[in-house]
Chain A
């Protein structure tokens, strides 16, 4: 008797998931864990839950470098999640080629993604051999300099309007006991700061030649030498910022302990959580105030191929929810990033986001380094720049090593 009851109970637990209409639990992994990011991801979860499905949050702490290996080994190891964040571009390239990711072309044509996603390079990065494999959710640009108005006031100098003025103001900041430039110890931060300096100082064409065409001659040339000189300045200005995580470095700027930080627009979410206002408490300079160009990398969701039909259906629902105009606005306002569709209204956006939208509308955009370089080359670059920023390596030596990396990049 007891055994039969037990069997019935077991059977019930098996049957139940099939019985429940078309709703499914979908585990979504991502590395959005700082205050501003968590608030933004909650908006996505809310929108997805409203469709009758359930968002199971799989946040992985410790930024992309820690999270991506975990995600990839889960997918290749046969324990795929419902959906996962990647920076779109080349990070998931091989997973797609190995047939582990789901083709979203049906959803994309039904919802007309080709028309609505702006700039189109975002969707191009999701496309491999004519098929679409990811849903872009936001545009993140690296090319921002965040300045603390309070820090400059304390040092008795005006808030700089571009990189050169910032470098000139550094001694005054130091005298007031303020670190001029906050750079965290995570390797991607120093590598990213260098890419930003390159766009600002050497310009868009040089950037595209070096990272797009992997032209080693340009990488060894005088334009890049100038960039390394600027990186040398940045290195001197960053002495004393003994923090690891990017949001800790941003916090130095928020609290006025540091003058500024070169960081992507995701830093804006932190200013918002701290209750600071663009213009009065902090200043943002796109393209370091020199070259107003922003890169259009960003985050996208990829959907691993699942056997469960209910879950596969839920994946489609999630994909279309992510690009829904309402979700786009709610998510991006909290995240501090720009929406992937040009037709949504961001009237409530703050000054910095509006600046970004303007540059985007003008078309002054470049592709992000994640889209141009393989993870392998990116890692080598990170090794180089984390060493450069922490040591006394000469700019000339660093440039030589940089040229080698570009020459061997694929």
Chain B
């Protein structure tokens, strides 16, 4: 403290020196591995690297081939469907479950554990479990048929046009428990007086939730949104375990395209181009939102 008084202006760099030194490893990781790796990937996506990276530039060839590949287009479409429904359903189901749980019910702890339990399983296990559940020969279809409805058909994983919904079911089963817990934490953070006030004013419960509680839970919703969205973009293991992209290429996703072309096809350039496109997609969604969220607040 006395040292600063002599120096006149405190040196910004030396403030909280200990915490700065302590965070050097993380800063290095972020800069070298995340940023460096990203730049390296984008850079090499303009080359025709095969099994090993090499510097012979081919301009936008990899991107032209990528956007002409039917499998990539199917992947993008699948990700859009999966992303849209998984976002909406996990928020809605998660919130409804949390709201029900918030009614001071009995055995709340037991229910919470049951709903959160699937989240403890990896995507691979989830995928295998649902592969069996949805398998027409031993799953839901055969159970319903054995009960007497012999013409009942339910085989989403073997039907090209609905296979992505089969994957969506498994993802929701696994992920909504976490969303519910986050929402419940948010609901518990709401002051009791708000509820009392709304009851005094005679506002019905659903209206209180919709117009008062949800706007108050903005921060929780944003956290949840980021967690769900990052889960959507990187969906890979679930697809591998459930369908490995099949039938045909009907349930392919972008992350799997990247992996298959980098390692199976030994074409790094193509894989890098695809991963760069994934990055751009994320950036298009994240940047405007981050600008509104953080940039706006500083000024306001």
Q: Check B51 against A95 for contact (C-beta < 8 Å).
A: yes
Answer yes or no: B209 CB below 8 A from chain A CBs: no
Q: Say which residue of A68, A94, A378, A380 sits within 8 Å of B263 (CB atoms).
A: A68
Q: Identify A242's interface contact among B136, B244, B249, B266, CB under 8 A.
A: B136
A-B contact count (CB 8 A): 77
B265 on the A face (CB < 8 A): yes
Contact B248 A65 (CB under 8 A): no
Let me know if B267 is at the binding interface, CB within 8 A.
yes
Q: How large is the interface on B (under 10, 10 to 19, 20 to 34, 35 or more residues)?
A: 20 to 34
Q: How far is the CB of A308 from chain B (nearest CB, A)?
A: 24
Q: Report the Cα distance A376→B261, complex, angstroms.
A: 7
Q: Quick check: which of A169-177, A275-283, A299-307, A386-394 contacts chain B, the rest being far away?
A: A386-394
**Known A94-B50, A375-B264: A383·B249 in contact at CB below 8 Å:** yes
Q: Is B158 an interface residue (CB 8 A)?
A: yes
Min Cβ gap B191→A in Å is 54
Chain B residues with CB below 8 A from A389, complex form: 248
Contact of A380 among B51, B246, B265 (CB under 8 A): B265
B172 to chain A, nearest CB (A): 24
Are A379's CB and B244's CB within 8 A? no
On whether the beta carbons of B244 and A387 are closer than 8 Å, the reply is: no
Interface positions, chain B 258-289, Cβ under 8 Å from A, are 259-261, 263-267, 270
Give the distance in Å from the alpha carbon of A94 to the alpha carbon of B54 in the complex.
11
- Chain A count of residues within 8 A CB distance of the other chain: 31
Mark B146-161 against chain A: 1 for CB-CB distance below 8 A, else 0: 0000000000001010
Task: Find chain A residues with CB under 8 A from B264 CB.
Answer: 65, 68-69, 375, 379
The reply to whether the CB of A154 lies closer than 8 angstroms to some CB of chain B is no
Q: Is the CB of A386 within 8 A of B52?
A: no
Q: Is B265's CB under 8 angstroms from A386's CB?
A: no
Taking CB atoms and an 8 Å cut-off, the chain A residues in 119-167 that contact chain B are none
Interface centre among B50, B65, B266 (most CB of A within 10 A): B266
Task: Report if A364 contacts B (CB, 8 A).
Answer: no
Q: A100: nearest residue on chain B (CB-CB)?
A: B52
Nearest B residue to A184 via CB reads: B246
Using CB atoms, name the residue of chain A closest to B136: A242
Nearest Cβ in chain B — how far from A17, in angstroms? Answer: 31
Give the shortest distance, in Å, between A1 (CB) and chain B (any CB): 38
Q: How far is the CB of A393 from chain B (nearest CB, A)?
A: 9
Query: Looking at the complex, which one of B51, B65, B259, B261 makes contact with A72 (CB distance below 8 Å)?
Result: B51
Chain A interface, DSSP helix/strand/loop, else mixed: helix
Taking the closest CB of chain B, its distance from the CB of A160, in whole angstroms, is 27
CB-CB < 8 A to B263: which residues of A? 68-69, 72-73
Contact yes or no, A375 B266, CB < 8 A: yes
Residues of A within 8 A of B249 (CB): 383, 386-387, 390
How distant is A97 from chain B, measured CB to nearest CB, in Å?
8
B52 adjacent to A390 (CB under 8 Å): no
Interface contact A386-B248, CB-CB below 8 Å: yes
Least CB separation from B246: chain A residue: A185
Contact B248 A375 (CB under 8 A): no
One digit per residue, 1 when the CB lies within 8 angstroms of any chain B CB and 0 when it does not, for chain A 63-90 equals 0010011001100100000000000000
30 of the cross-chain contacts (CB-CB < 8 Å) are A68-B263, A69-B264, A72-B51, A73-B263, A76-B52, A94-B51, A94-B266, A185-B244, A185-B247, A186-B244, A242-B135, A242-B137, A244-B244, A374-B50, A374-B266, A375-B51, A376-B261, A376-B265, A378-B265, A379-B260, A379-B261, A383-B70, A386-B249, A387-B71, A387-B248, A387-B249, A390-B160, A390-B250, A391-B160, A401-B70
Q: Which residues of B contact A (CB under 8 A)?
A: 50-52, 65, 69-71, 135-137, 158, 160, 244-250, 259-261, 263-267, 270
